[in-house]
Amino acid sequence: MKTENTGIDLNELMRRPPFRCACGKIHRAHLKEALICEGAIGRLASCVKKYGGTKVYILADENTFAAAGQPVLNDLEKENVPYTLHRFGKERAEPDEKMIGSAFAHFDHSCDMILAVGSGVINDVSKIVAKTTGHPLITVATAPSMDGYASSTSSIVRDGLKVSVDSACPTVVIGDLAVLKNAPLQMIRAGLGDMLAKYISVCEWRIGRIVTGEYYCEDVAALIRAALKTCVDNAGGILTRDPAAVKAVTEGLILSGIAADWAGVSRPVSGVEHYFSHIWDMRALEFGTPFDLHGIQCGVGTLCALRGYERLKTLLPDPVAAKAAFAAFDKEAWFSRLRGFLGKAADPMIGGAKTADRYDPEQHAARLDRICSHWNEILAVIKEELPPFAAVKTLLTELGAPVNPADMGLPNGEAPMVFKITKDIRDKYILSTLAWDLGLLDVIAAVFEEEN
Ligand SMILES: [Zn+2]
Ligand SMILES: [Zn+2]
């Protein structure tokens, strides 16, 4: 299953025993196998037996069952593997308390393996069921739409807020290209969007290392770059559902999960573009504003980030002005604007921001020093990692994917505020925190007011 352009063999990566890398960490992948080929579902029952399953608890919804349910059941029945099936309804469900509760309420305790048939939501719920029951999980992917297949966290809605919780990584992911290539086009576009995000995340990881001295692994970054390149090289085939394009996106997404698993942090796979997406999700939950698939939002977020970096490159650090901007900042006034824009989702963010490094004067001064003395290095990283905004915009436009908030039904005029809030989501060093440290947050945010 070697991907021609990158030469990365996914299964070779997974078979590698845990090893100590030059970055200082011991890298190990929790995913044991990925079968990404035409007819892969025909190997499902043998996988179940190989990993000790005697009866499987299947989770699917009406849509994912329509995509892959019957071949899954056929293969299990052919090999005499008993199962209990729990099917969620057709409506677009959130992985919330009700849905997770339903998965447990129907759980058959004679099952000793969990089988997810689906993509984002089914995947998130099944990983929680696997974690809680302690049973291994096999995932039959129905769409290459997001990079969570190989991760051990789930994104859920709890008490009306989107949060990330610990869950179980699958033992095997089965990606049958006969199923995946027939996924809704918007879901394949979304998968590509979640991959394009990696331009930004890898770039920001390197900038974070320069400014804050945080952990970084070049091997992990190199894996992501190679997978991303294969996706982009093959992206032209997405509209015709070319199996090579679909395979590249699927493998890229799984590989991203493995790379994040190796690193033990989400740094290599998620940066400011994902925070744009988080904020759109938060507003959708709180105010019912329009939203789109995670990866579609990440694609738009990636373009926003690329515009912001292109503006940043034209500016020069001015430490005196940066310190003055920091001193003049009215934290309480900002938090009240934040609460107005996000509703109750703002509270945990404000709680975290109160003690955050970015608002500490001494830490700010230290970071500003490092930024100014390493400015050329930061510019070189941006140049090395980021493609031109125009090139990515053309790519997404040709695929018929949204390229700005308005294409998703959101007012473009809100984008500056969304950008400014991204710095408060977590203490991750990203474009908005860099701009904040330089006293240039408003200057960068202003690019989102211009036509693009
Ligand atoms: Zn490493
Ligand atoms: Zn993502």
Asked whether residue 283 falls in the same domain as residue 370, the answer is: yes
Q: How many structural domains are present in the chain? A: 2
Is there a domain that residue 314 lies in? yes
* 77 Cβ neighbours under 8 A, 6+ residues apart: none
pLDDT in tens, 169-184: 999 999 999 999 999 9
Ligand 2 center–CA 282 separation, angstroms: 15
pLDDT in tens, 383-411: 999 999 999 999 999 999 999 999 999 98
* 426 Cβ neighbours under 8 A, 6+ residues apart: 352
**SS3 state at 261:** helix
Asked whether residue 1 carries a pLDDT value surpassing 50, the answer given is no
Domain end call among 160, 182, 204: 182
Could you say which ligand is closest to the alpha carbon of residue 299? 2
Structure tokens at 189: 């576009």
Antiparallel, parallel or unpaired: β 33-37 and 172-176: parallel
Asked whether residue 276 carries a pLDDT value surpassing 60, the answer given is yes
Of 66, 87, 294, 69, nearest to 187 by C-alpha is 294
Asked whether residue 57 falls in the same domain as residue 202, the answer is: no
Ligand 1 center–CA 215 separation, angstroms: 9
Percent pLDDT > 70 in the chain is 98
**Rounded CA gap, 91 and 69, in Å?**
17
Could you say which ligand is closest to the alpha carbon of residue 153? 2
Ligand 2 center–CA 274 separation, angstroms: 6
- Count of alpha carbons within 13 angstroms of residue 394, beta-carbon side: 7
H/E run at residue 83: strand 83-88
**Rounded CA gap, 16 and 54, in Å?**
27
Could you say which ligand is closest to the alpha carbon of residue 271? 2
- Read off the pLDDT band of 451 (50, 70, 90): low
**Rounded CA gap, 403 and 5, in Å?**
27
Asked whether residue 77 falls in the same domain as residue 204, the answer is: no
Ligand 1 center–CA 448 separation, angstroms: 36
Is there a domain that residue 222 lies in? no
pLDDT in tens, 302-346: 999 999 999 999 999 999 999 999 999 999 999 999 999 999 889
CATH code at 295? 1.20.1090
Residue-range definition of the domain harbouring residue 409: 188-216+267-449
H/E run at residue 63: helix 62-64
Ligand 2 center–CA 56 separation, angstroms: 28
Asked whether residue 321 falls in the same domain as residue 174, the answer is: no
Structure tokens at 352: 């975290």
- Please state, rounded to an integer, the average pLDDT across all residues of the chain: 94
Percent pLDDT > 90 in the chain is 84
Q: Cβ distance 442 to 308 under 8 Å?
A: no
Ligand 1 center–CA 221 separation, angstroms: 9
Q: What is the mean pLDDT of residues 366-387?
A: 98
Ligand 2 center–CA 327 separation, angstroms: 35
Asked whether residue 273 falls in the same domain as residue 378, the answer is: yes
Q: What is the mean pLDDT of residues 350-360?
A: 85
Asked whether residue 212 falls in the same domain as residue 85, the answer is: no
Asked whether residue 317 falls in the same domain as residue 395, the answer is: yes
pLDDT at 3: 46
DSSP 8-state symbol, 67: I
Asked whether residue 148 falls in the same domain as residue 52, the answer is: yes
Ligand 2 center–CA 231 separation, angstroms: 15
| Residue type, position 59, single letter | L
DSSP 391-418: HHHHHHHHTT---SGGGGT--GGGHHHH
**SS3 state at 115:** strand
DSSP 8-state symbol, 17: P
How many CB atoms are closer than 10 A to CB 331? 11
Could you say which ligand is closest to the alpha carbon of residue 277? 2
Q: What is the mean pLDDT of residues 250-278?
A: 94
Domain end call among 182, 205, 225: 182
CATH code at 151? 3.40.50.1970
Ligand 1 center–CA 27 separation, angstroms: 7
- Read off the pLDDT band of 450 (50, 70, 90): confident
Q: What is the mean pLDDT of residues 120-140?
A: 97
pLDDT at 6: 54
How many CB atoms are closer than 10 A to CB 172? 23
Query: Can you give the C-alpha Rg of the chain in angstroms?
Result: 22
pLDDT in tens, 215-238: 999 999 999 999 999 999 999 999
Asked whether residue 169 falls in the same domain as residue 290, the answer is: no
pLDDT in tens, 40-82: 999 999 999 999 999 999 999 999 999 999 999 999 999 999 9
